[in-house]
């Protein structure tokens, strides 16, 4: 009988310790078993997926709209016209994505109205002008 009482007593002493340890473990870990690293990894993967999606949309937009401009030319166009190939500025003097005047447009092989030309043609003509005279063709936006 003494052995039985001792055994029950030792089991009774262990049960609260196990319960305390389990309680302490559950208070430091979220109930969903979430691991901080796993949560951070999922968040990083979602951000990367969003970045890839946005980049794919930009590439598709450029393909659809025919833009073939280099990053430098894109910056110039963004400054000159907001990248709008149909932009008209300077009271009608400057036209298109790169704000060509008609004599400059003709000097690089363009014909007609630069603002009516396809964007890819405007990109080509601007690249020709850039190769000839550099950024000086765009005194404000080329700098």
pLDDT truncated to tens, each residue of the chain (143 aa)? 555 455 445 545 545 544 444 455 555 555 555 689 999 999 999 999 999 988 787 777 666 655 667 899 999 999 999 999 999 999 999 999 999 999 999 999 999 999 999 999 999 999 999 999 999 999 999 88
Q: Is residue 120 part of a domain?
A: yes
Q: Is residue 98 part of a domain?
A: yes
Q: Is residue 87 part of a domain?
A: yes
Structural domains counted in the chain? 1
Compute, in degrees rounded to 10, the torsion defined by CA atoms 10, 15, 20, 21.
90
Q: Is residue 59 part of a domain?
A: no
Domain that holds residue 116: 67-137
Give me the CATH number covering residue 77.
Answer: 1.10.530.10
Task: Copy the structure tokens of residue 117.
Answer: 């030309």
């Amino acid at each position: 009988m003494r052995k039985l009482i001792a055994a029950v007593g030792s089991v009774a002493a262990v049960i609260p310790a196990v319960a305390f340890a389990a309680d302490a473990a559950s208070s430091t870990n979220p109930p969903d078993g979430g691991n901080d690293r796993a949560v951070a990894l999922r968040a990083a993967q979602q951000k990367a997926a969003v970045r890839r999606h946005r980049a794919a949309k930009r590439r598709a937009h450029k393909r659809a709209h025919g833009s073939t401009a280099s990053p430098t030319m894109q910056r110039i166009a963004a400054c000159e016209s907001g990248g709008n190939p149909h932009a008209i500025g300077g009271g009608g003097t400057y036209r298109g994505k790169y704000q060509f005047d008609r004599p400059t447009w003709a000097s690089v092989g363009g014909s007609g109205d630069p603002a009516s030309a396809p964007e890819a043609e405007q990109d080509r003509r601007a690249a020709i002008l850039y190769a000839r005279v550099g950024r000086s063709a765009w005194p404000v936006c080329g700098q």
